[in-house]
Structure 1
Amino acid sequence: MTNSVHVLRPALWLAGRAGWLVLAVLVTGATVARAALPEPIAQALREAGVPPSAASLYVREVGREQPLLAHRATTPMNPASTMKIVTTLVGLDVLGPAYTWQTTFASNGRLQGGVLSGALYVKGSGDPKLTSESLQAIVTALRARGIREINGDLVIDRSRFAKAVHDPAAFDGLPLRPYNVGPDALLFNFKSVGFRFAPLPDGTVRVITDGASPDGLSIVNTLRTTSGTCPQDWRSRMAPNFDDRGNAVTATFAGIYATDCGERDWYISLYDHTGLFAAMFARLWRDAGGTWTGVAREGALPRNARVLHTHISPPLATMVTDINKFSNNVMARQLLLTIDAELSKRPAQAKRAGRSIRDWAKARGFDLPDLVIENGSGLSRIERISAQSLAGMLEYGLTSPFASDFLSSLPLAATDGTLAKRFVNQLAEGNAYLKTGTLTGVKALAGYLLLPDGRRMLFVGIVNHGNAEAAQKALDSAVDWVYLTEAAKLKALTR
């Protein structure tokens, strides 16, 4: 990467912030690490009802040993989604930006006259983004091979990942939420079905699926519109009910829908992994003019099976952008397991990944003694890392061959991803790449601050407290403090 695209010219930047610089000289000016919090940050924490003992901050210029700010920087903290920094950095290093996942379709049955007599095997490799569009292309490719009829089962080989029990309700009691979906070697459509709602002039509400509807899905819709603003609980006011009877799923919406809600989407995890893939395959295969007379089941791909089609995913560099900019949890889980499978050369296990990553860090010349990884997404109550360790990971990311891929994967302040509406008209706007992290009791922000003179600062801020949600302003104040401090120093040098 080059800094010229993202760096403001110092003279213009300083002139535009003249009033702020006076404050910067008064409240900053230190050139050594601070153990105590600067007053603007401490005040913001007080206003949020968060004690300094619940916050961890670490700021250091890339390439320097002495931090600008180090407050409880070696204390292990719950990082929430900033843990994705670790997962995506290690993924880029271990797998490479060009790495792709392959989903193999094969059979050892006889193909004659358009009829495949035998099972169609599907072997997944953990593709984080195998979607309906992907499956449509796969169906088209199989039909182009001359297959019209499949007289056999759809056999799914998910042996790339070791079998593991996943309770989608364990984290927060909301098992239908897509962010609670567990990983799978044949993850499809994030294991979710999208419903689209739109109020109509006659007082009814149109309900359709977002894209093709899985085979066997029925929608019962008696929704009526109501006046008033769109409430936060608009989903529950529709009185949803989902009845899964194996091959048939019925989604019922029998409540009310505010007209002010306009057109909205709701993605729900209704099926198990095999069920969703099989239901969508059945629908798309039938729509393409094919017939299938078997059932879906799990099994191993035979060694003598011949490959009929291989679907290749987008490269990892694209995947990490989705993971970091939009904080996709299930994609991060898929990546962590892929890393473990690659390093261990065995069916992937998340519980082994933490040790694998610590070993990886030592091989790269630094330690992560405080790292605790459960799933690599940050959607966890036990994951831990210190601010200083996370900053070390960030610095490695800027010195690696894949630095541009990693940097561009992070949300850009006031521009895109989870920062699209944050830091607007602030010093960081367009000049900070930062990953956000939010859980109940956790607020975090970590990444890079690009300074007007071309220097780059590592920034990590984590709050673990019951009032963490209110501490976002304090983290943003810490970002402002860095810019103000460095601007004051720059002004002093140019006198």
Structure 2
Amino acid sequence: MGFELKRRLVGGVLLGACVWLAGCAATSGGGALPAPVLQALDQAGLPADSLGLMAFALDDPRAALLHNERRSMQPASTMKLLTTVVALDQLGPNARGHTDLLADAAPQGDTIEGPLYLRGGADADLDFAALWQLLGDLRERGVRRIAGGLVLDRSLFHPARMDQGLPPFDEAPEFQYNVVPDALQLNGNLLGFALSADGQAVSAQVRPAWAPVDLRSALSLNDKPCSEWEDGWLTPEAALQPDAGQGARMRIELRGSFPRNCSKLVALNLVDRSLLADAAVRALWAQLGGELLGATREGATPGTASLLATHRGRALAELAWGMNKRSDNPLTRMVYLRLGVDAGKPAGADRTADAAGRAVREWFQRQRIDATGLVLDNGSGLSRSERISPMQLAALLQTAHRGLHAPELLASLPIVGVDSPWTRRLKGSPAAGRARIKTGSLRNVAAVAGYVLDARDRTWVLVAFINDERASAGRPALDALIDWVARQGQ
């Protein structure tokens, strides 16, 4: 192949004779790279020093391709692999979130005299249909009237509302990928907006129609293709309106431009999440023939409350598919926070995210992987602060491949040449259909991490990060690296 792998002591019990510690024999800081990778970097105008990578065959891990492998770098969404692996090991593949309905005392006849508690348990599947089913279970118990209002309990995580006071990650806080989760994640904190344009004007409606929204469209028309509708989009204006006799409502104005002769149903995070939960419970309960009196507030469920109905989300092994194939940020962040709850409920001013970080570091210690330079934030990679080295992530992937839950992890990874974002990349490469690779992308990051089968059907671990303001131009170099690994052993 015109390139010789470096045979060094780059690992520990996992890779040979010493652990993944700074005291191991020195590895390359910027060694030679395969010619196709260097050529692609040069064409992109990127320095070789912007790349950090580690690649090795699982059956011969001492012969590794190394370049800046110890450098702590931004991983973007490849960080989701860390959350997936640790969660499968710590929580178990059958772990499920749940949502509960409770009351202070058993119903009297068809009435709950006190409030109804809607308690969030990190249920990633609590959409409007699941809420309808949950409330339907309560109606089937004979309950019709709730006299004491509604209490929304998000207290599983601390703080209960992590979104409050948090600056937006970028200029598009209304889109799904930017939603900050909480323990009562109703419909992903999203509401549907149906946009439709002919040749004259743009119309907009809110879905479902019962949502407490006064919607105005100030969208003008443009001549872009419908597939590029986001190009003319501007962040809508949204404001919570005080109670005017019909309950609080959101006033939303859509801004920017929208393509002619185009229709889209867009899920947006624009409605106050407590207002949305209140409106959903009241509307669905009324549809079921129920009556809900009293106000809605946020609070904790008393320990003496009686459980009336429960909705259980999908198992973690199924959620992992969305975490990695869809690269779902809010879902991954929620699973990461569950690691903090599993490690013990945080006390005092301790944050659940901090407890989750400790759980990850303890897992690294048990696996004898050095965590020096590891920086954790929310576990999804949608962060300016998260850092991990190629060597650390490669060690994690090697550990996972030998672990009990390797099948669940592998099933969750995008297949090169088949799944998004690979449907148009590496189609003619021997890696197509034979590599399972998670990608990552931020303004200044392009990354890949996962497993590749080579020409002799050996499984390789591959991790590569590009950190540079022009990182997106370096994707062909990452593709060339995957292709190079897939051709080994020809």
What range describes the TM-score normalised by the shorter chain of this pair?
0.7 to 0.9
Contact 1:125 1:186 in 2 (8 A): yes
2-side partners of 1:129 and 1:469: how far apart?
33
Aligned to 1:357: 360
2-side partners of 1:432 and 1:219: how far apart?
46
The 1:451–1:237 alpha-carbon spacing in structure 2 relative to 1, beyond 3 Å, is closer
1:161 match: secondary structure: coil
2-side partners of 1:467 and 1:227: how far apart?
29
1-side partners of 2:224 and 2:78: how far apart?
38
Q: Which moves more between the two structures, 307-316 or 63-72?
A: 63-72
> Aligned-pair distance for 1:328?
0.8
1:380 match: secondary structure: coil
The 1:254–1:72 alpha-carbon spacing in structure 2 relative to 1, beyond 3 Å, is closer
Is 2:86 the partner of 1:90? yes
Aligned to 1:302: 302
2:434 to 428, 431, 436: 431
TM-score by length of 1: 0.86
The 1:256–1:179 alpha-carbon spacing in structure 2 relative to 1, beyond 3 Å, is closer
> Aligned-pair distance for 1:165?
4.6
Aligned to 1:122: 118
2-side partners of 1:373 and 1:59: how far apart?
23
The 1:209–1:431 alpha-carbon spacing in structure 2 relative to 1, beyond 3 Å, is farther
2-side partners of 1:236 and 1:205: how far apart?
13
Aligned to 1:183: 181
Contact 1:199 1:205 in 2 (8 A): yes
> Aligned-pair distance for 1:172?
1.8
Aligned to 2:460: 457
> Aligned-pair distance for 1:254?
6.8
Aligned to 1:252: 253
1-side partners of 2:420 and 2:137: how far apart?
34
Mapping of residues 375-454 of structure 1, within 5 Å: 375-454=378-457
Counterpart of 1:485 in structure 2: which amino acid? Q
The 1:231–1:156 alpha-carbon spacing in structure 2 relative to 1, beyond 3 Å, is closer
The 1:147–1:235 alpha-carbon spacing in structure 2 relative to 1, beyond 3 Å, is farther
Aligned to 1:21: none
2-side partners of 1:228 and 1:38: how far apart?
41
> Aligned-pair distance for 1:386?
0.6
Is 2:475 the partner of 1:472? yes
Percent of aligned positions with the same letter in both sequences? Answer: 33
TM-score by length of 2: 0.87
Counterpart of 1:250 in structure 2: which amino acid? R
Aligned to 1:342: 342
Q: Deviations over 1:208-239 (max 9, x none)?
A: 345x3453123334767555534846474589
1-side partners of 2:235 and 2:363: how far apart?
49
2-side partners of 1:45 and 1:226: how far apart?
37
> Aligned-pair distance for 1:390?
0.3
Contact 1:353 1:373 in 2 (8 A): no
1:46 match: secondary structure: helix
2-side partners of 1:255 and 1:161: how far apart?
36
Contact 1:446 1:461 in 2 (8 A): yes
Aligned to 2:168: 170
Q: Which runs of 5+ in 1 are unaligned?
A: 1-24, 488-495
2-side partners of 1:98 and 1:432: how far apart?
26
Q: Deviations over 1:316-344 (max 9, x none)?
A: 01111101111111111111110111023
Report the structure, 1 or 2, having the larger helix content: 1
Q: Deviations over 1:436-459 (max 9, x none)?
A: 101110110000002343310000
Mapping of residues 254-293 of structure 1, within 5 Å: 256-259=257-260, 262-293=262-293
1:143 match: secondary structure: helix
The 1:232–1:401 alpha-carbon spacing in structure 2 relative to 1, beyond 3 Å, is same
Contact 1:213 1:280 in 2 (8 A): no
Contact 1:412 1:419 in 2 (8 A): yes
Aligned to 2:149: 153
The 1:72–1:225 alpha-carbon spacing in structure 2 relative to 1, beyond 3 Å, is closer
Q: Which moves more between the two structures, 344-353 or 283-292?
A: 344-353
1:61 to 57, 79, 86: 57
Counterpart of 1:390 in structure 2: which amino acid? L
Residues matched between the structures, number:
459
Contact 1:62 1:457 in 2 (8 A): yes
Mapping of residues 26-45 of structure 1, within 5 Å: 27-28=2-3, 30=5, 32=7, 35-45=31-41
Q: Deviations over 1:151-205 (max 9, x none)?
A: 12211222211116534543224332322222211112221112122334x7444
The 1:226–1:158 alpha-carbon spacing in structure 2 relative to 1, beyond 3 Å, is closer
Contact 2:390 2:465 in 1 (8 A): yes
1-side partners of 2:271 and 2:224: how far apart?
34
Aligned to 1:192: 190
Is 2:100 the partner of 1:104? yes
Contact 2:451 2:462 in 1 (8 A): yes
Contact 1:186 1:273 in 2 (8 A): no
The 1:223–1:46 alpha-carbon spacing in structure 2 relative to 1, beyond 3 Å, is closer
